[in-house]
A and B are shown apart, each in its own frame.
Chain A
Amino acid sequence: MGMSAYLIVRLHNLFAVVMVSGVYSLLAATFFVVVDAVDVAFTEAAVGAGISTVLMLGALSLTKGREKVPSRPAILPIIIALATGVALIYGTLDMPNYGDPDAPIHQHVAPTYLADSKPKTGIPNVVTVVLASYRGYDTLGEVTVIFTAGICVMVLLQGRRRRRKAKGDTA
């Protein structure tokens, strides 16, 4: 994943950038399978690697395929990014180790969900139970967000055809 992220930085052909970002998403999905998040892996592979890439290719077909190669490297963003990285690494020093079963995240509500979801709902997959039964309202909110985004895209691109037609008339 790190390699593909680095490639995205180095490449200037936007088609290649979009393809490598698809590879990046797919690698993320395989990584999620390894750390037990199978539902997330499904979604990332279908939505992150699939639909995102298709959307970006669509956008590229309507714009330009190559990035202008910068004449000088951008120093300030590198400094800001590295400073952020150092601060974040300093912040992790107090975090629990990877896979530690005594970490605070595993103590609070998660055991309740794991213990109660099967007897209460009869569905074995805990992620589905939390998503659709316990936190159904959040999922409704998510659907609202997608609906709003869909309307935004339609409004933004709606004038396209009309304007192009007008241009064709004058020409």
Chain B
Amino acid sequence: MEWPGLYNYWIAIFLMVTGLYLVMAPQNLVKKIVGLNVFQASVFVLYITMGKVTGGTAPIIAEGIEVYSNPLPHVLILTAIVVGVATTAVGLALVVRINESFGTIEEDEIRELEEAQEDAS
């Protein structure tokens, strides 16, 4: 297998695993959302590298150029980036709202507060 072979997928997978860990492990909600963004960008990298053709150029039609990279993944990812920011905004608004109600954005502390409330009622 000659260079770069399948390395592009492995880079994307490394970023994806890091993002997955960041979504699961931290108790802090803002850090979880950052992890979600890392995960998202890894999917972007996966798609965009799949669209690359060796010797190709950006898919803008010009004279004297024969080989273009695949434009379809680019279109999909353009949409995905914008939608991703929209979901990030909603997630952060939820975090702000949670902070207002509970006074903390640490997940374990929120759980303790909820249990204390249930015991009280």
Contact = CB atoms under 8 A, between A and B. Distances in A.
Contacts of A105: 50-51, 70, 72-73
B95 A24 contact: no
29 contacts: A5-B19, A9-B21, A9-B22, A17-B34, A35-B69, A37-B48, A47-B85, A55-B88, A55-B92, A60-B30, A63-B95, A64-B105, A80-B24, A82-B17, A88-B13, A89-B9, A89-B13, A98-B6, A99-B4, A105-B72, A125-B59, A125-B61, A131-B79, A146-B82, A149-B90, A152-B90, A152-B93, A156-B94, A157-B97
Given A52-B85, A55-B89, A56-B34, A93 B6 contact: yes
B75 A135 contact: yes
Interface in B1-51: 1-2, 4-11, 13-22, 24-28, 30-31, 33-35, 37-38, 41, 44-45, 48-51
Interface of A: 1-2, 5-6, 8-9, 14, 17-18, 21, 24-25, 28, 31-32, 35-40, 43-44, 47-48, 51-52, 55-56, 58-60, 62-64, 67-68, 70, 74, 76-78, 80-82, 84-85, 88-89, 92-93, 95, 97-101, 103, 105-106, 109-110, 113-114, 117-118, 124-127, 130-131, 135, 138-139, 142, 145-146, 148-150, 152-153, 156-157, 160, 163
B24 A74 contact: yes
Contacts of A146: 82-83, 86
Counting chain B residues whose Cβ lies within 8 A of the other chain, the interface size class is 35 or more
A169 to B, nearest CB: 17
Given A114-B68, A117-B61, A149-B90, A127 B82 contact: no
A32 B69 CA distance: 12
Interface of B: 1-2, 4-11, 13-22, 24-28, 30-31, 33-35, 37-38, 41, 44-45, 48-62, 67-75, 77-79, 81-90, 92-97, 99-100, 104-106, 109
